Structure 1
Amino acid sequence: MASSQLTASSISTRSVASFEGLRPSSVQFHSARHVRIGNPARRSFKALIVKAATVVAPKYTAIKPLGDRVLVKIKEAEEKTQSGILLPSSAQTKPQGGEVVAVGEGKTLGKNQVEISVKPGAQVVYSKYAGTEVDFNGEKHLILKDDDIVGILETDDIKDLKPLNDRVLIKIEKAEEKTSGGLYLTEATKEKPSFGTVVAVGPGLVDEEGNRKPLTVASGNTVLYSKYAGNDFKGKDGFEYITLRSSDVMAVLS
């Protein structure tokens, strides 16, 4: 199969995005002759190396979030199990929490200015895939919207979470370990439960009049919720917990 070769002269600098402000080590353009188009098994991509996170140049000493955005310093992933076993990178749990470093001025809703629901210094839990990761002062940070913060967690046990806005913390009912005929189920075949007990609820969302609208569920309610909604957590008591929006709660069971 014929192959074609790119040369430096065939690449227009006008088509390359500006990387001003990035560290020199984060983006490297070597000789273009290393990039070949042809046999997929023999392609070389050494010419372009881009970090997943945005790198803020060392000359900047502060980041000021705007609007309803929050800057969070990410908590480091656990490198060991509780018994002291070292975890490989692929097995380390991606952190979903961190410390609030700075907050924006809030957002305008109707004629009212709604302040950010957290303050600098608060320990928070956020939605798993929210925000934009940045490297700043040698540490990983996340810029995300206030609404992406699930709650405040001052301990290391998820059952102590204080949900924010319209979020709900639910203790999931354990899955059945046996069939009706008495056969034991493996982890892979157990039905994922979609109901549990409400542990804590947020204060509700703010309407255009500036008033909080209380949620329709309360602590102690047994509820049925959307099967694939929310974020799952493992509690220190061995139970599974989930945080989700109140709109994902479908019914109260009694």
Structure 2
Amino acid sequence: MATSQLTASLISTRNVSSFQGLRPSGVQFHFARNVRIANPARSSFKALIVKAATVVAPKYTAIKPLGDRVLVKVKEAEEKTEGGILLPSNAQSKPQGGEVVAVGEGKSIGKNQVEISVKPGAQVVYSKYAGTEVDFNGEKHLIVKDDDIVGILETDDIKDLKPLNDRVLIKIEKAEEKTSGGLFLTEATKEKPSFGTVVAVGPGTLDEEGNIKPLSVTPGNTVLYSKYAGNDFKGKDGFEYITLRSSDVIAVLS
């Protein structure tokens, strides 16, 4: 009887979760499962190993991103809470930002060459699920497109984010605590608001000639936005924030 074995290890996913400043949570699954198939017509399968990151061999000493790509050194996950309590590996928050290490030469739009919007050394926030993970010099890196970088954040408080390109930072309106009849709502039954106040905006979008077109919303506007768009953050002031593209802003309220 032929025996087949399938092994999977180290599958990493980015999860949509709460933030503490710049640190959304991440989830890692470690598991192995043996699958035996009774089929005399088939031979044994070789072990299949799935990994999240590409490991760069030590003989390579540099990575040069091409085109409009950016190499980011990922910020390390927190190993302790603010009170000094050690966190188990499955409870450590997975960062969603880091330091720019190198940038590509940019991209051509029409007859114009558009440079990368960030420089090496900048502290940036990038979109969830973006880029290719790379282990380089024993450290976690990510190669992302310039358009996947949400903004520059030099502090650990999301309200200080400087959005890039067509991104908008919005302070979300708090959910209602009571029903119209005066009943208190539990966290599970509170409906997440899809409107808030614009805190900061990026410089704008690029037209077909590579020129910047300013966004149609400005800081201070109260806006309605698509419910399932963008990246959620929790600020140090206790408020929820979201970054999204200007095209996900539906209307300005007044």
TM tier, smaller: 0.7 to 0.9
Deviation at 1:50, TM superposition (A): 4.1
Once residues 161 and 134 of structure 1 are traced to their aligned partners in structure 2, the CA distance between those partners, rounded to angstroms, is 26
**Kept in 2: contact 1:73–1:100 (CA 8 A):** yes
Following superposition, the deviation at residue 5 of structure 1 comes to 2.8
User: Offset of 1:6 from its aligned partner?
Assistant: 5.6
- Give the 3-state SS of the residue equivalent to 2:241 in structure 1: strand
**Which residue identity is paired with 1:203?**
P
Report the Cα offset of residue 35 of structure 1.
Answer: 7.3
Q: Paired residue for 2:163? A: 163
Matching residue's letter, 1:5: T
Q: Aligned ranges for residues 152-191 of structure 1 at < 5 Å?
A: 152-191=152-191
Is it true that 1:204 corresponds to 2:204 in the alignment?
A: yes
Partner SS state of residue 247, structure 2: helix
Is residue 3 of structure 2 the alignment partner of residue 5 of structure 1? yes
Instruction: State the match for 1:84 in structure 2.
Output: 84
Alignment partners' CA distance in 2, 1:64 and 1:205: 26
SS in 1 for 2:100: strand
Look up the match of 1:242: 242
Q: Partner amino acid for 2:59?
A: K
1:35 and 1:47 in contact (8 A); partners too = no
Corresponding residue pairs, total: 222
Shift of 1:92: 2.2
Contact 1:235 / 1:241 at 8 angstroms: preserved in 2? yes
Question: What SS does the corresponding residue of 2:147 show, helix, strand or coil?
Answer: helix
User: By how many angstroms is 1:191 displaced?
Assistant: 0.3
Task: Tell me if 1:112 matches 2:112.
Answer: yes
Assess, with a 3 A threshold, how the Cα gap between structure 1 residues 206 and 49 changes in structure 2: closer, same or farther: same
Q: Given the alignment of the two structures, is residue 146 of structure 1 paired with residue 146 of structure 2, yes or no?
A: yes
Q: Secondary structure at the match of 1:198?
A: strand
How far the C-alpha of 1:80 sits from its partner, in A, is 1.9
Give the superposition deviation at 1:93.
2.1
Question: What RMSD, in angstroms, separates the aligned Cα atoms of the two structures?
Answer: 2.1
Runs of 5+ unmatched residues, structure 2:
6-33, 40-44
Q: Give 2:8's aligned residue.
A: none
Q: What amino acid is aligned across from residue 101 of structure 2 in structure 1?
A: V
Cα deviation, residue 163, structure 1: 0.1
Distance verdict in 2 for CA 1:5–1:68, change over 3 Å: same
Question: Which structure ranks higher in relative contact order (CA pairs < 8 Å, sequence separation ≥ 6)?
Answer: 2
Q: Does 1:61 align with 2:70?
A: no
| Offset of residue 82 of structure 1 | 1.6
What is the CA distance between 1:86 and its match in structure 2? 2.3
1:72 counterpart residue number: 72
Distance 1:35 1:175, change over 3 A: closer
Change (3 A) 1:210 1:52: closer
1:93 alignment partner in structure 2: 93
Instruction: Report how far residue 208 of structure 1 moved.
Output: 2.3
Alignment of 1:194-233 (within 5 A): 194-233=194-233
- What TM-score comes out, normalization by structure 1 length? 0.83
Matched residue SS, 1:4:
coil
Q: Does 1:131 align with 2:131?
A: yes
Q: In the alignment, residue 128 of structure 1 is paired with which amino acid?
A: K
Instruction: Give the drift of 1:110.
Output: 1.0
Question: Gaps spanning 5+ residues in structure 1: where?
Answer: 8-33, 40-44
Residues 165 and 205 in structure 1, CA contact (< 8 A), matched pair in contact too: yes
Identity across matched positions, percent: 90
CA distance in 2: counterparts of 1:193 and 1:47, whole angstroms: 47
| SS, match of residue 159 in structure 1 | helix
CA radius of gyration, larger in: 1
CA distance in 1, matches of 2:52, 2:218: 41
Structure with the larger helix share: 1
User: 2:11 maps to what in 1?
Assistant: none
